[in-house]
Structure 1
Amino acid sequence: MSDILSLLPGYNCGSCGFRQCRDFAAQLKVPGDLQKCPFLERDMFRENLGKLSAIVGAEAPAEERIVGVIDGLEADFMLAPLRDECSCREFIHPFDGSVEVRVGDYIRYRPLACPVTHFAKVIDIDPGIYTIHLVGPLHRLGREDFKFKELGLCMILAFEGRVSRGKLPKVGQTVRFVPEYCMMQKVHSGMVVGVEGKDIRIEGIDLKVW
């Protein structure tokens, strides 16, 4: 445990979904879990990443089952953030379009069919569609007084991320996946519309999995 902690960035930023690096270290089971930390792939930590992978153990076999925690359904793969990003990119459409939102704003919203309220930072805007990085619940921001705009109920249109564990899909496949930072570890479904290496785009997102 101490060896792992000494090699982690030590920022306690919460980007991995845990309050502290110590909590993150305690749940590491396979090298793929290390990809939840967005800082380990930066040049200054690349050597540490190799050492951590050796400590955590051999890479998980391709046939490893990925099962959603909340629903017990089997997924095809885990979806991690794109390189040097804090979460997968989500593309959302608010049902109430009256709120004025700008790039850089923080928003609070609830995805359609999800019981959990999300906090996110807007990184791009198209007419009616916001591209966001998930940044909360509040404890992951390390503060309780930050300002946000209330969007209410939103439809999740697409995800962009990187396959970290499981089967790499092909364009046109309907897939089941779990976003690594999903607070409920819920299996999502959708259709793959773009693949570049391990980076993929999934559209037609649905929380009802057949």
Structure 2
Amino acid sequence: MDEILSLLPGYNCGSCGFKQCRDFAAQLKSKDDIQRCPFLEREMFMDNFEKLSELVSGTSSAEEAKIIGVIDGLEADFMLAPLKDECSCREFIHPFDGSVEINVGDFLRYRPLGCPVTHFAKVIDIDPGIYTIHMVGPLHRLGRDDFEFKDAGLCMILAFEGKVSRGKLPKVGQTVKFVPEYCMMQKVHSGMVVGVEGKDVRIEAIDLKVW
């Protein structure tokens, strides 16, 4: 128990429902229990979170199920799930064809550079030349024949924002391999982590041609 206690923030703030961190440490049995402490999801305590997870589960990270890309057989560091109450991870794309007029709310057909699959997405925000989208699927997933869209053509994928749902939480500045949960091919992507808040991450410098 002393080892677990040494990894807790030690603020005795009561946010977890216990008066002291010592009382909280005594009842830890799973990762879900650990998440009751709001401070352990902050970047400065990420290493402690991982060590506590190993201690309370009785397993090491190496013993956990590996995340393997289906199409390429590569091992990923984590699975990336949508942010809370969103339908897919946020993607930030740049169409090579700048002549297409795109507005918030439009549906796009596009193909990410480095991916053989045509995607469909809804535009949720716009910066000059950069479109934030939620992917809504390849067409067969939509289940409708009257689907109207604009053809954005070949696009560069600039960034992802999502939540780590399985695997090791990354640190800012770390180059990572990850699999978006909704990716039809379950293909390993790579990029650099530029933001971490709890389990929410932003990954830039995206490369779909991972070797």
Letter aligned with residue 76 of structure 1 = D
User: Within 5 Å, which residues of 2 pair with 1:191-210?
Assistant: 191-210=192-211
CA distance in 2, matches of 1:123, 1:141: 18
- Structure 1 segments of 4+ aligned residues over 3 angstroms from their partners: none
1:82-161 counterparts in 2 under 5 A? 82-161=83-162
Counterparts in 2 of 1:180-199, with a 5 A limit?
180-199=181-200
Please give the alpha-carbon distance, in whole angstroms, between the structure 1 residues aligned to 2:137 and 2:60: 32
What is the aligned length?
152
Counterpart AA for 1:112: L
- 1:140 Cα deviation after fit: 2.4
| 1:149 Cα deviation after fit | 0.1
Q: Secondary structure at the match of 2:87?
A: coil
- Deviations along 1:27-82, one digit per CA (max 9) or x if unpaired, are xxxxxxxxxxxxxxxxxxxxxxxxxxxxxxx9x97432000000000000000000
TM-score when normalising by structure 1: 0.70
Q: 2:72 is matched with which residue?
A: 71
Distance across 1 between alignment mates of 2:70 and 2:60:
20
Stretches of structure 2 lacking an aligned partner (at least 5 in a row): 1-56
The answer as to whether partners of 2:164 and 2:199 remain within 8 angstroms in 1 is yes
Is the contact between residue 77 and residue 177 of structure 2 (CA under 8 Å) also seen in structure 1?
yes
- The answer as to whether partners of 1:193 and 1:203 remain within 8 angstroms in 2 is yes
Separation (CA, whole Å) in 1 of partners of 2:127 and 2:60: 40
Asked whether the equivalents of residues 92 and 155 of structure 1 are also in contact (C-alpha less than 8 Å), the reply is yes
TM-score, length of structure 2 as denominator length: 0.70
Name structure 1 gaps, 5 residues minimum.
1-57
CA distance in 1, matches of 2:210, 2:160: 16
Secondary structure at the aligned position of 1:114 is classed as coil
Distance 1:81 1:204 in 2: 19
SS of 1:139's equivalent in the other structure is helix
Could you tell me how far 1:141 is from its partner in structure 2? 2.0
Answer with 1 or 2: which has the greater Rg.
Answer: 2
Residues 138, 144 of structure 1: 8 Å contact kept: no
Q: Give per-residue Cα distances to partners, 1:124-163, cap 9 Å, x unaligned.
A: 0000000000002223222121110000000000000000
The answer for the alignment partner of 1:177 in structure 2 is 178
Aligned-pair identity in percent equals 86
